Amino acid sequence: MNAGPQVVRAAVDAVVAWARSGRSVRDVIAANVALRQASGALRAQVSALATAAVTLAIRHEFLLAGDDGLRGLSAPARGEALVLAAAVANGAWAPEDAAAAFAAVHRSTLPFAALTAPAAAFALNASPERAFAREHSVPEWFATAALQAFGEQAAAVARALSQPAPRTLRANLLVVRDRAELVAELAAAGIATRAATYAATALHVDGDVDLFATGAYARGAFEQQDEASQVAVAAVAPPPGGKVLDLCAGNGGKTLALAAALRNRGQVLATDVHLGRLQGLRERLRRARADNVQVAAIGEHDWPEPVRTFAANADRILIDAPCSGTGSWRRRPEGRHAIDAVSLRKLVATQDDLLRRAAAVLRPGARLCYATCSLLPTENEARIDALCAADSGLERVRMVEVLGGAFGRSVADATGTFLVLRPDRHGCDGFFLAILRRR
Ligand SMILES: C[S@@+](CC[C@H](N)C(=O)[O-])C[C@H]1O[C@@H](n2cnc3c(N)ncnc32)[C@H](O)[C@@H]1O
């Protein structure tokens, strides 16, 4: 029942590389030359184990070593402890085998059997926030925010954030007619998929199959994209032939979906302050056969004249804002260890700045769409409230108006105003989208 030694070793290397460099687990695995030559299935197993190790690090460090965690251990020993702990937690290793494997290499013992401790262990000498943080392997600042925002549902949210993320694709409607055509093409290649619930373009893939080795990928028939982002693009709803400014385009996940939503007509201007990401976007545009996208670098405090002119004429300005990423911790587990109260304050300041700048150029009738993959009200509703309090010319466009009554309500907050997706309710990443219209 043990995960193979090759998988454990590669996962340990990935966790150690993450701990030393701060790079994401995904990036360190992608950069591993030996793994690049391995099968897609093996890479997927390594990725799953390393992701689980980083996801559950806070919980497992507490269970193995108390409140001081594994601080006394070297980076390789800590990485090994976390990977073996994740393998014990998912049932792949027996605690005594993990203890023996750890002792054989590091000549010290760790109580892997303690990983099955009952929930009461987390509450020992701890405030409710600290007990929640230990149990759900989240930082204490997030435990406090989640308990405040979600009350009795906070545990369900945190549990969902610790589950593996589904593998979700977006059918690229610039290449395939509809999702069904992609489903049939993948089925012919022996790949089973399931239609997703909320986005008409989304489908889930079970198992470890190497999707990037398929003919469908080579001809640009799909992109990997969480369902939440696909629903968000449907809600941005660019008008046929319209103009969209994608202000924080990154390497283009939403840009490509917007280009497809416009059926290659109209215009998308994709901007970002990060040149490397924009380069990645240019490469993705070619494969996806998107012809209606221009790309431009912008400064944090300064947009070139053509970008300002485009913004002033745009039908939609999308701000897919830099954020805590708390909603996507399933895919980016290192986020749990990277954000703190100080970095969160900086992110909020950037969000306010982006909103103010975009609102200042938004023409009457046009829509400002503000998105985050955050679960925190302070990055979401609070930012919109602050902007609308300062700018009375903006009105909220309700999600039920944009997406239709029953469907809109199924993906909106209790008032039907904002798009609010949650991993525990919708199975996709946590996501927020507000739409504002200039009167
Ligand atoms: C959430 S990511 C965007 C993800 C992307 N839209 C996608 O769908 O793949 C946020 C992006 O905002 C960019 N960013 C940060 N500060 C910015 C600013 N002041 N102006 C424009 N972009 C900014 C970051 O470089 C990052 O690429």
- The tens digit of pLDDT for each residue in 348-381 reads 999 999 999 999 999 999 999 999 999 999 999 9
- Give me ligand 1 centre to Cα 321, in Å: 6
Measured between alpha carbons, how far apart are the two ends of the chain, in Å?
62
Cβ of 274 less than 6 Å from ligand 1:
yes
CA distance 322 to 104: 44
Testing ligand 1's pocket by substitution, the residue of 320, 343, 428 carrying the most ligand atoms inside 8 A of its CB is 320
Q: Rounded to whole angstroms, what are the CA distances from 387 to 145, 349, 352, 401?
A: 22, 12, 7, 21
Cβ of 335 less than 6 Å from ligand 1:
no
Res 1: pLDDT: 46
Res 2: pLDDT: 61
Active site residues: 373
- Tell me phi and psi for residue 117, to 5 degrees: -55, 145
Residue nearest to atom 15 of ligand 1 (CA): 322
- Give me ligand 1 centre to Cα 319, in Å: 8
User: What is the number of the ligand 1 atom nearest to the C-alpha of 350?
Assistant: 19
Q: Please provide the DSSP assignment of 253-273 as one string.
A: HHHHHHHHHTTT-SEEEEEES
Side chain identity at residue 96, one-letter code: E
Res 103: pLDDT: 96
Beta-carbon neighbour count of residue 64 at 10 Å? 21
What pTM was estimated for this model as a whole?
0.97
User: What is the number of the ligand 1 atom nearest to the C-alpha of 277?
Assistant: 27
What mean pLDDT value characterizes the chain?
Answer: 96
- The tens digit of pLDDT for each residue in 123-145 reads 999 999 999 999 999 999 999 99
Residue nearest to atom 11 of ligand 1 (CA): 248
Cβ of 254 less than 6 Å from ligand 1:
yes
Res 207: pLDDT: 86
Res 36: pLDDT: 87
For the chain, 439 residues long, the average pLDDT of each consecutive 10-residue run is: 82 96 94 88 93 98 95 95 97 96 94 92 95 98 98 98 97 98 97 97 93 94 98 98 98 98 98 97 96 97 97 98 98 96 96 98 98 98 98 97 96 98 98 98
Res 347: pLDDT: 98
